[in-house]
């Protein structure tokens, strides 16, 4: 079995899984435990997959108003979280189909601006994150390359060779992924000041491969991560 999700809202991603370790220490996580979407207050939030409403609750200083859905992947239970809502549109115990509105977005709880926090928790997985996993590889919409296929980087046929161009990392933390896009899995992090030599460039979204299967974004959401040395 495999978990297959649809994106809960259409909006720009403002924070990825694993980012900003300093901020998430206070909740006992090594980094952000979900994906954030910057969307206007009142945006309908859809269920990422069919399931049952496990909780409609308020967490002060955390999720604010949130909805938790429970799901089964074969015999393995997992949960999806929709946080910082204005209000829920579902009740505990209710069965929901994928895409049905579970609530309306806002800025409640520990939130610095209108957004949806979306999280996925699989019992027994990723202990450092208390079961939370990166949702990005689980999304099926958009026809991305299978992010679990790390056997070859040659699937990125639009990547071009670079003439050993050197870069320095400008951001405090830069996620390294196993493909040129945020839909790929995080396989490491680079710290500010690190120097890498770009081997290939995926020009469409401007990602650099510096070792086989290790990619990072030159810029993301308007923030420049890498400068050419
Ligand atoms: Zn978040």
Could you tell me the pTM of the whole model? 0.64
Q: Is residue 8 one of the residues assigned to a domain? A: no
Q: Is residue 211 one of the residues assigned to a domain? A: yes
Last-in-domain residue among 138, 173, 208: 138
- Are residues 133 and 50 located together in one domain of the fold? yes
DSSP assignment, residue 21? H
- Are residues 202 and 108 located together in one domain of the fold? no
> Residue 130 is part of a domain; what is its CATH number?
2.70.70.10
Compute CA distances 99 → 50, 142, 159, whole Å.
Answer: 8, 15, 34
**Ligand 1 mean position, distance from CA 34 (Å):** 5
- Are residues 189 and 128 located together in one domain of the fold? no
- Are residues 175 and 129 located together in one domain of the fold? no
- Are residues 18 and 126 located together in one domain of the fold? yes
Measured CA to CA, the distance from residue 131 to residue 191 in angstroms comes to 25
> Residue 222 is part of a domain; what is its CATH number?
2.30.30
> Counting every residue, how long is the chain?
229
Which residues contact residue 173 at a Cβ distance below 8 angstroms, ignoring those fewer than 6 apart?
Answer: 19, 20, 21, 189, 190, 191, 192
Which residues contact residue 124 at a Cβ distance below 8 angstroms, ignoring those fewer than 6 apart?
Answer: 131
- Are residues 62 and 174 located together in one domain of the fold? no
Q: Is residue 25 one of the residues assigned to a domain? A: yes
Which residues contact residue 163 at a Cβ distance below 8 angstroms, ignoring those fewer than 6 apart?
Answer: none
**Ligand 1 mean position, distance from CA 24 (Å):** 10
**Ligand 1 mean position, distance from CA 98 (Å):** 21
223 bridge partner residues: 220
**Ligand 1 mean position, distance from CA 117 (Å):** 4
Query: DSSP E strands: which ranges in the chain?
Result: 13-15, 35-38, 44-46, 51-59, 64-73, 76-88, 95-96, 101-105, 115-122, 132-133, 159-169, 173-177, 186-191, 195-202, 207-211, 214-217, 219-220, 223-224, 226-228
Domain hosting residue 72, numbered range: 13-138
**Ligand 1 mean position, distance from CA 51 (Å):** 21
Residue 164 has what pLDDT?
67
Task: Output the tens digit of pLDDT for each of the chain's 229 residues.
Answer: 689 999 999 887 888 899 889 999 999 999 999 999 988 999 999 999 999 999 999 999 899 999 999 999 988 999 999 999 999 999 999 999 999 999 999 999 998 889 999 999 998 899 999 999 999 888 874 333 344 444 444 577 667 776 667 788 988 889 999 988 888 888 999 999 999 988 887 766 678 899 888 999 887 766 778 877 6
Residue 203 has what pLDDT?
63
Q: How many domains would you assign to the chain? A: 2
- Are residues 132 and 172 located together in one domain of the fold? no
């Amino acid at each position: 079995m495999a978990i297959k999700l649809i994106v809960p809202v259409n909006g720009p991603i403002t924070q990825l899984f694993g980012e900003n370790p300093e901020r998430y220490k206070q909740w006992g996580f090594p980094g952000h435990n979900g994906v954030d979407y910057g969307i206007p207050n009142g945006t309908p939030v859809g269920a990422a997959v069919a399931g049952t409403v496990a909780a409609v609750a308020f967490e002060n200083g955390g999720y604010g108003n949130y909805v938790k859905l429970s799901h089964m992947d074969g015999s393995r239970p997992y949960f999806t979280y929709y946080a910082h809502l204005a209000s829920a549109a579902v009740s505990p115990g209710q069965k929901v189909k994928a895409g049905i509105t579970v609530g309306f977005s806002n800025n409640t709880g520990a939130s610095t601006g209108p957004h949806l926090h979306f999280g996925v928790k699989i019992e027994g997985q990723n202990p450092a994150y208390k079961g939370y996993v990166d949702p990005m590889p689980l999304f099926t919409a958009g026809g991305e390359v299978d992010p679990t296929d790390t056997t070859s980087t040659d699937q990125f046929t639009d990547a071009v060779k670079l003439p050993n161009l050197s870069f320095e990392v400008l951001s405090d933390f830069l996620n390294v992924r196993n493909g040129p896009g945020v839909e790929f899995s995080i396989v490491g992090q680079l710290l500010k000041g690190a120097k890498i030599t770009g081997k290939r460039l995926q020009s469409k979204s401007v990602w650099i491969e510096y070792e086989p299967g290790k990619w990072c974004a030159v810029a993301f959401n308007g923030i420049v991560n890498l400068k050419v040395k």
